[in-house]
Amino acid sequence: MLECNVSNTTPFLPEDWLTSRLPALERARAMLEKGDGPGGAFTGWVHLPRDYDKGEFSRIQAAAERIRGDSQALVVIGIGGSYLGARAVVELLRSPNFNLTRRDGPEIYFAGNGLSSDAMLEVIDLVKDKDFSVNVISKSGTTTEPAVAFRIFKALLEEKYGKEGAKTRIYATTDAHRGGLKGLADAEGYEEFVVPDAVGGRYSVLTAVGLLPIACAGVDIGALMEGAAQAMEALSRPGADNPAWQYAAARHALYTGGRKVEILAAYEPSFRFFGEWWKQLYGESEGKEHKGLFPASVEFTADLHSMGQYIQEGERLMFETVVRFARSRGSVAIPHDPDNVDGLNFLAGKDLSFVAEQAMRGTLLAHVDGGVPNLVVTVPGRCEKSVGWLIYFFEYACGLSGYLLGVNPFDQPGVEAYKNNMYALLGKPGYEERRAALEARLS
Ligand code: PA5
C-alpha cells in the first residue's frame, strides 16, 4: 500500500546505513509495541487503529450526520495537534477550496489556531448569518487560543439560538476526566468526545480530535481507519524491508551525516496542510535537547519557482522526502493549439498528470545531482485508505525516529516557555514576578 524508495539516498550514505541500525530499530519497535520506552504512557496511538472505541466511533458518525443535516457551517476550534490533522485530511481528501466546492454538508472553518483579531472577525463574519455548529477541541482544556475563540463562538451561538439551543450545537472534544473544557462540557451538557489519555495531541488525528471534523466533511472515516489498521499490521513486522524502518533509518543516517533539514515535498496543492501536520509531528517529537532534523515543507511545482533555487544550489543542509500519489483522481488533456506560439504542441493530447510525473522525475534527478538526497514515499492515490496508511506510516516512523535519536518522542517541554511568558505579560494571577522581569527586559 505504501513504498519508501531510498535508492536516491543511498549514494549519500555509508553502506551499512540500514544494517547498522537494525538492532536499534528492533529496540525502538519493541518499546513502541510494549509502551515501555521514554514517553511510553503516550503510545496509545500505536494500536489505536485496532483498539479504538467503536461505540464512540458510531457517536462521531451520528454527530457528523446531525451537523451535516442542521448546519450550513461548522467552526472547528483547536490549535496544534487539536487542529492540524483535521485540516490536513479535509484538504487532502476533499479540497483546499473545500468551502467553495459542491458539497452536501457544511462549510468548515478553523478558528482558535492563533490570536489574530482579523482572522477571528473574518470567521465570525462568514458564519454569523448561517446555521452553524461548533466543535471545540482541547485535550488540556486550558490552551489560551482555543479557549478565547470558544468564548467568542459560544456567545455568538447563544445570541443566535438562546442558551439551550446553543448547547445542542456545541460538540466538545477533550480529556475524559479533567480540564476546564471537560468541566464546562459536563455542566452545560454538550455532546462530548474523548482525547484518550495515552494519545498526545500530534498523534491524535485518528481519534475524535480529527475524526469528527473529517466526517463532517463527508470523508469515510471507516475507510480511513481501515487504511491505518492495514498500516499498523504491516509496519509492526520487523525487518529491513519495513518502509517505516527504512525511512527512519535513512533520515537518521542523513542527520548523523550532517543533514540538518528534511524537506517534505509533494506535487499536490491539497497536500499543503498535510505538510503542516507532518512538521508538527516531527518537529515536536524530535526537536529537543538541541537535537533533531528541522522539518520544512514545499509544494511543487509552485515552490520550484521560489525555493527551487536554494534547494538546487544553496547550502547543502537538507534532504528531501517526496510524497508521490501514483494516480490522479481525474485527467486533464492538454489541447492542441494551431498557432503553437508557446511551442507546446508536442504535449497536445498528453495528460497533465503525465507532465507532472516527468517534472517530478526530472526534479528528483536535478536535486540529487545538486547534492540533495531524495527519498520517495509512494501511495496509490488520494483516497481514504491511502491517507490512513500514510498517517500511520509517518506516526510510526516518527516514534522509531525519536528513539533512534535518543529523545522522548512524546513530550513537548519546549512549548511551555512562550506560554509562561504570555501568561505573565497578560497579567495572569500567580505570574507577577515573571511579569515584572519580562517588562523590565522589554522596556
Ligand atoms: O501536540 C501537542 O501536544 C500540542 O500541539 C497540542 O495539541 C496543542 O498545544 C493544543 O493543546 P490542547 O489540545 O491541550 O489545547
pLDDT tens by residue, 316-335: 999 999 999 999 999 999 99
| pLDDT > 90 fraction of the chain, expressed in percent and rounded | 96
Residue among 289, 336, 419, 432 flagged as catalytic: 419
Q: Active-site residue 367, yes or no?
A: no
SS3 call for 28: helix
pLDDT at 414: 87
Question: Comparing 3-36+237-405 with 48-219, is the CATH topology the same?
Answer: yes
User: What residues does each domain of the chain span?
Assistant: 3-36+237-405, 48-219
413: pLDDT confidence band, cut at 50, 70 and 90?
A: confident
Is pLDDT above 90 for 1? no
pLDDT at 417: 85
| Ligand 1 within 6 A of CB of 81 | yes
| Ligand 1 within 6 A of CB of 85 | no
Spatial separation of the C-alpha atoms in residues 63 and 75, rounded to whole Å:
14
Is pLDDT above 90 for 344? yes
135: pLDDT confidence band, cut at 50, 70 and 90?
A: very high
Q: Active-site residue 289, yes or no?
A: no
pTM above threshold 0.75: yes
Question: Which runs of consecutive H residues, i.e. helices, occur in 238-321?
Answer: 243-256, 272-286, 308-313
In this structure, which amino acid lies at residue 237? R
The CATH-assigned architecture of domain 48-219 is 3-Layer(aba) Sandwich (3.40)
Per-residue cell: 378: 509512494
Nearest atom, ligand 1, residue 174 CA: 13
Residue 347, CA distances (Å) to 301, 304, 338, 364 in order? 18, 21, 13, 21
**What is the overall mean pLDDT for the chain?**
96
Picking from 35-44, 113-122, 291-300, 431-440, which range would have the lowest pLDDT averaged per residue? 431-440
Q: Which listed CATH number (3.20.20.70, 3.20.20.80, 3.40.50.10490, 2.60.40.10) goes with 3-36+237-405? A: 3.40.50.10490
Residue among 54, 177, 290, 305 flagged as catalytic: 305
What secondary structure does DSSP assign to 85-124, as a single string?
Answer: HHHHHIIIII-TTGGGS--SS-EEEEESSS--HHHHHHHH
Is pLDDT above 90 for 150? yes
| Dihedral angle of Cα 385, 390, 393, 394, to the nearest 10 degrees | -150
Where do the DSSP E strands lie in 41-177? 73-77, 107-111, 132-138, 170-174
Q: Specify whether the CB–CB gap between 105 and 217 falls below 8 A.
A: yes
Q: Active-site residue 177, yes or no?
A: no
Averaged pLDDT, 133-149: 95
- Output the residue whose Cα is nearest ligand 1's atom 2: 201
| Ligand 1 within 6 A of CB of 138 | yes
pLDDT at 295: 98
| pLDDT > 70 fraction of the chain, expressed in percent and rounded | 100
Is pLDDT above 90 for 416? no
Condensed to tens digits (0 to 9), the pLDDT of residues 179-210 reads: 999 999 999 999 999 999 999 999 999 999 99
